[in-house]
Chain A
C-alpha cells in the first residue's frame, strides 16, 4: 500500500512540474533575471495611484493595451527595434522602464527578447519586463487592470 501511495505521489509531483513548466516556460538564456519580471498587479497598483512615480511603459508587441503605454510596434521588426532604440537613447540610464508584449507565452513571444537584450546592451539600470506569462488578455485585460483609451 505504501509503495502505491509513493508511486501515486511521484506521478502527482511529476505531472505538476510538467504543467508548471508548460505554462511558464522560460529558457535559461533569456536576457532577463527573475528580479526583472514585474508582476501585473504591481504595475496596475502604480498606474492606479497618480501620486506614485510612473514608469515609462513601452508596448513592444502588436498593440498598446496598457494605460499610458507607448506603442512601438513588434520589435521583432528591425525598424520597430530601431524606433525603440532611438526613444531609449533620449532617456537617463536610470530611468524607470517597463516593456511588454503579451501576444503569447514568453516561450513563443518573438518580441520580448530583442527588447530586453537592447535594454541590457544600452546599459539601463532600472528596467522591467511585465510578467504576462500567458498573454495580455488573460494576465491584464481579464483582471480589469487599467487599459489604454
Chain B
C-alpha cells in the first residue's frame, strides 16, 4: 500500500514538474547564447554578437502578447536605470528586442507610439521564426540575460526578479 501511495505521488510530482518546466526547457545558464541576426524596422541587420562587451537582455515578445506589451514599460525603466552602468561582466546594458509579430505595421506602430528606444529586430514570421526554435521558446513573454561574452546568465526573469539579477552584476 505504502509503495503504491509513493508511486502515485511520484507520478503526480513528475507530471507537475514537467508541466511547470515547459517554460524553462532549452538553453541553460552557462551555455553560449545562439547568434541572432535579424532586421530592424529600417531594414538593417543587427547581430546579437555585435553587442559583445555589454550585459544584454534578449527580450522575445510580440504586440499580440498582452503580458509582453505590459512588460515593455518595465523594460523601459530598467533600460534607463542600467544603460550606462558598469558591470562585473560587461560595460553598459542593452536590450535586444526580438518581436514575433507577423505584421510590420503592428510592430512599427507599437514601437513608435511607445517610444521604445532599444534595439528591435524581427523577421515578422510569428511562431514560424527560426529563433523561436533555436531558443526553444515555449511561450511569450520569454527573455534571456547574457553577459559580455554572450554566456547565458539567467532565463525568463521578470519584474523585480529581473531587476535584482541585473543589480547583482553591478560593479561596486
Enumerate chain A interface residues (CB-CB to B < 8 A): 5, 8-9, 12-13, 15-16, 18-20, 22-23, 61-63, 65, 74, 102-105, 108, 110, 134-138, 141-142, 147
Contacts and interface: CB of A to CB of B under 8 A. Distances in A.
Interface residues of B, number: 30
Contact of B12 (A12, A63, A65, A102): A12
A14 to B, nearest CB: 9
Contacts of A105: 139
B22 A134 contact: yes
Contacts of B140: 104
B127 A19 contact: no
A19 B125 CA distance: 30
A139 B55 CA distance: 33
A93 to B, nearest CB: 31
A45 B125 CA distance: 25
Contact of A62 (B66, B101, B133): B101
Given A23-B19, A62-B126, A134-B22, 7 more contacts: A9-B8, A12-B13, A15-B16, A16-B15, A22-B20, A102-B127, A136-B127
